[in-house]
Amino acid sequence: MPKRVDVRERRTLIADALMRVAAAQGLEAVSVRHVAAAAGVSVGMVQHYFRTRDEMMVFALDVVRDRNQARVTAALSALGPDPQPRAMLRTLLVTVLPLDEQSRADGLVALAFLAYTAVRPAGVKSDDTAQMLGFIASLLPDPDAAVGVLALMEGLGMYVLGGQYTAEQALKALDAQLDLLF
Amino acid sequence: MPKRVDVRERRTLIADALMRVAAAQGLEAVSVRHVAAAAGVSVGMVQHYFRTRDEMMVFALDVVRDRNQARVTAALSALGPDPQPRAMLRTLLVTVLPLDEQSRADGLVALAFLAYTAVRPAGVKSDDTAQMLGFIASLLPDPDAAVGVLALMEGLGMYVLGGQYTAEQALKALDAQLDLLF
DNA sequence: GTTTTTGCAATACGATCGTATTGTCAAGCG
DNA sequence: CGCTTGACAATACGATCGTATTGCAAAAAC
């Protein structure tokens, strides 16, 4: 056998290139060749790690989700021990909003993937929504309000991505909602 | 000159076919040939009415927006004279939510277009958001809450489209929010 | 009746796509 | 030292893409 290689790392390298292409030119521009070029590797190598384009897409989608999850976890644990529920919730929501340039790129990719998966009948959809919903509900005086809170966050993120809302507007709306709920 | 033809009608016919393709297989599947086939016309005819694929897309996007606008207007005027602000607002929001099969298809197309236009720098984006925002604000006890209301609606629509929320959940969350605001 | 112009169809062209095939080089095993 | 095998690279193939080109029937203009 030749040099053993960290498969996961190689796949992630390619997925990163995919996301750069998708953030810059949309999912339509994500072809095996483009991604290979963006990653600075050969088409053959991409094929070596992903048998089909779809496999590559699904993996990239997973990476995006994991990144978001990690961001949230990091932000929450940065709050120190025993934070107030409201502070935790606000941190969670702010973290997911596409406010800085990096999370904005991630948001664009996630949006593209959302439209992508909305059509695919063979759902690769994990139910991290249900999990998120449960977590939000546990922080809320009225657990039933979690559905609305999550939707509000998603909508705010949408409009920030689209440029119709500024980051300040989104944060203000979010805090106003927290004032109503707590 | 030969038989004069209603250009707008022909264009709309093609745009309708485009939307059927997009709703069924996503925007990726929207090619000139596919749309022509779905419309039951020749490729040449599509080219006759749209010089480029992008022109066709932009027109279809306009059609979707006009349809939504018309739906809202119709629903509002069906309320009769001098309706209460809260009733108007609820009608507006419910109308835009993708609850039935037709508006669900429209929502899918709109979502696909959202991801499509998010990348295009040469924005074809009209600011119907600002208009909608102003209208919502005029119905609300606290006009500043309009930003959140619009975002909530968008987010609810998103999750309903994605299948994570049921129509009942979305309506419940919406009514809960209206209870908070009125 | 001729001419002009619109409405469309057919086809061709070059680019790009996803993927299959094939070859090659290096590293570990016996 | 062979020999196998994993990690690529190169290229080929057929399909599909957007669009340009060409042709033609029919109706209005003259």
For A155, which of B114, B145, B155 is closest by C-beta distance?
Answer: B155
In angstroms, the CA B85 to CA B177 distance is: 14
Mean pLDDT (chain B) is 92
Q: Name the CA radius of gyration of chain B, rounded.
A: 18
Say whether residue B40 is in contact with chain A using an 8 A CB cutoff: no
Expressed in angstroms, the distance from the first to the final Cα of chain B is 61
Percentages helix, strand, coil for chain A (3-state, rounded to 5) are: 75, 0, 25
Nearest residue of chain B to residue A169 (CA atoms): B147
| pLDDT at residue B3, rounded to an integer | 65
Query: CA A65 – C1' D7 distance (Å)?
Result: 29
Single out the residue of B139, B136, B175, B180 nearest to residue B156, CA to CA. B175
Sequence-separated (6 or more) residues with CB below 8 Å from residue B36: B14, B17, B42, B43, B45, B46
Per-residue pLDDT, averaged over A84-106, amounts to 93
What is the rounded average pLDDT of the residues A68-91? 94
| Residue B104 to chain A, least CA–CA distance (Å) | 11
Per-residue model confidence as pLDDT tens digits over A68-77: 999 999 999 9
State the nucleotide closest to B56 in CA–C1' terms: D18
pLDDT value of position A39: 97
Nearest to B119 among A25, A165, A170 (CB): A25
Spanning CA of B29 to C1' of C5, the rounded length in angstroms is: 35
Across all strands, nucleotide nearest A47 (CA–C1'): C19
Shortest distance between the Cα of A5 and any Cα of chain B, in A, equals: 34
Confidence of residue A156 (pLDDT cuts 50, 70, 90): very high
A114/B158 Cβ within 8 A: yes
Residue A21: closest CA among chain B residues belongs to which residue?
Answer: B119
pLDDT band of B122, cuts 50, 70, 90: low
Instruction: Name the fold adopted by A7-181.
Output: Tetracycline Repressor; domain 2 (1.10.357)
